[in-house]
Amino acid sequence: MPNYRIIVDLSDRRLYLLDGGKVIRSFPVGIGKLATQTPVGEYMIVNKEPNPGGPFGAYWLGLSKPHYGIHGTNDPSSIGKYVSHGCIRMYNEDVTWLAHTVPLQTPVTIRQ
């Protein structure tokens, strides 16, 4: 059984999926802008919602920090940039793959 965890590295704007300490996939992400930075810390995925509507794209993965999550986007050009209100944006196909791969309670580390 996989032992997944997610690391979001704000400095290189990438999300890394690890299994037992080994990186198995890496994705480009959009992160919080200066006024609404993505919060660093240790969190967990606490809920998943397909097609949440609005700007959240194909999937919402809610974090244990209320109002923050990993989600898709209706603006693919925002990936790789400092654009969000603190959430982590992914391409829709990437967040859908991630949502179907990792279970609830997967640890998420957000670091500078």
Q: Mind telling me the catalytic residues? A: 71, 87
Q: What is the DSSP string of 38-71?
A: PPPEEEEEEEEEES--GGGTTEEEEESSTT-EEE
Pairwise CA distance, residues 16 & 90, whole Å: 12
